Amino acid sequence: MAAILYLCIVSLAIMWLMWLRPQIAQHQRELKEMEEAPITGYGSNAIPAFKHLTLVRTLDEKHLPVGDKRLVFVGDVHGCIDELKALLKKVNFDQHRDHLILTGDIVAKGPDSSGVISLARKLGATSVRGNHEDKFLLSVADMEAKGEPISDTTADNDLKADLMVDQTLPQSERERRKLAKKLSRHQIDWLKECPVILRVGYVNGIGDMVVVHAGLVPDIPLERQDPFQCMNMRTINLKTRIPSEKHHGFAWEKFWNFRQKKLPADERVTIVYGHDARRGKNIKKYSKGLDSGCVRGGRLTALVVDSRGKEKYVQVKCKGYVK
């Protein structure tokens, strides 16, 4: 009996020393770093000008939830048209009453990028620019500069489109060029209009909302955010406040939430975002991560917000189109 007790105490002591104490120390260190502002700051550069890139756009006020109107935010669709239709049906989406906002990455990887864009346009939806839209549009620009045809109506199937593309290019570049041949000019122009950051505006019961594909750095105005990081960040260096697309590190949204709570209530901003399928659906007070890995067989997630600011999360299961 005494031996068992002794063993328990030793195990607890080991657990404390090896795991719990370092965890507490790390947490305290992170809190301290989040509190302390660096002496010189990241984010003081003049944001570079990029062709055909709108950094910030404000949503038309008429879409804000008033009365029975709702905002429906949907995470990374990646061409999964069936799942998107099923999800919209499940939330009883009515385009005369509700407004659909997509968190970007609506193209690439999945079965029907063109179908998703067409549906989004038909419903009058808004989307932000994800890293996949970003890379795709840059490939389009490169094709245009080199005189390669885009929106080729003879590319009416995958094989034909494939044969039209330079086979020596890397696989991912070939896929983008194939897509550029399959999409219409109107669809490509629609993608070009998608801003990096969408300022939604004030939503009753929630406050100011913003949609961006990957994330934002706190304490920097929207107009001063770096577009590449807005479309790619996953983590942030607490000492330097510099974001990174790496998975390993301190999650940017943890820092975002921490900083929002330090602000007066009327200055806090809630971000709706996607991008990080590995972390999946990730809901916090001031950040709503909606990328639940649909294209890999996860779920497609919608956040429905009504005029009282009530948040409802709805999901559909996805078939899975890539490993």
> Which window, 82-90, 196-204, 236-244, 276-284, contacts another protein (CB under 8 A)?
236-244
| Residue number with CB closer to another protein (276 or 306) | 276
CA atoms within a 13 Å half-sphere pointing along the CA-CB vector of 280: 5
Binding characters for another protein, 268-287, by CB under 8 A (x = yes): --------------------
Q: How many residues bind another protein (CB under 8 A)?
A: 30
In the complex, least distance from residue 285 CB atom to another protein, rounded to whole angstroms? 29
Considering only 11, 92, 154, 240, the residue that binds another protein (CB under 8 A) is: 240
Specify the DSSP class assigned to residue 45: S
Between 131-145 and 185-193, two packed helices, what is the crossing angle to 10 degrees?
130
Measure Cα distances from 4 to 8, 16, 298 in Å: 6, 18, 45
Which residue in the block uniquely carries the two structure tokens 């991008």? Answer: 275
CA distances from 309 to 128, 204, 205, 206 (A): 22, 5, 4, 5
> Where in 116-155 is the site for another protein (CB under 8 A)?
135, 138-139, 141-142, 146
Q: Is 185 exposed, middle or buried (0-12, 13-18, 19+ CB in 10 A)?
A: exposed
- State yes or no: residue 48 binds another protein (CB under 8 A): yes
40 in contact with another protein (CB under 8 A) = yes
Among the residue ranges 34-42, 76-84, 115-123, 252-260, the one whose residues contact another protein (CB under 8 A): 34-42
Task: Find the binder of another protein among 3, 45, 62, 122 (CB under 8 A).
Answer: 45
Residue 84's H or E segment, with its range, is: helix 81-90
Supply the DSSP symbol for 253: H
Longest dimension (CA), the chain: 83
d(CA 141, CA 27): 45
Q: Rounded to whole angstroms, how far apart are CA atoms 232 and 230?
A: 6
44 binds another protein (CB under 8 A): yes
Q: Which two tokens stand for residue 81?
A: 């048209």
Note whether 229 binds another protein by CB under 8 A. yes
Please identify, among the stretches 193-201, 239-247, 287-295, 296-304, the one whose residues bind another protein according to the rule CB under 8 A. 239-247
Q: Which is nearer to another protein, 162 or 173 (CB)?
A: 173
Q: Does 226 bind another protein (CB under 8 A)?
A: yes
CA distance 258 to 275: 21
Residue in the block written with tokens 């770096």: 226
- What is the smallest separation between the CB atom of 240 and another protein, expressed in angstroms? 5
**Contact code string over 159-198 relative to another protein, x by CB under 8 A:** -----------x-xx-------------------------
The 10 Å Cβ neighbour count of residue 169 is: 13
Interacting residue with another protein among 114, 184, 204, 237 (CB under 8 A): 237
Minimum gap (Å) between residue 252 Cβ and another protein: 15
The DSSP H or E segment spanning 313 is strand 311-317
Applying CB under 8 A, which residues contact another protein?
38-42, 44-46, 48-52, 135, 138-139, 141-142, 146, 170, 172-173, 226, 228-229, 232, 237, 240, 242, 245
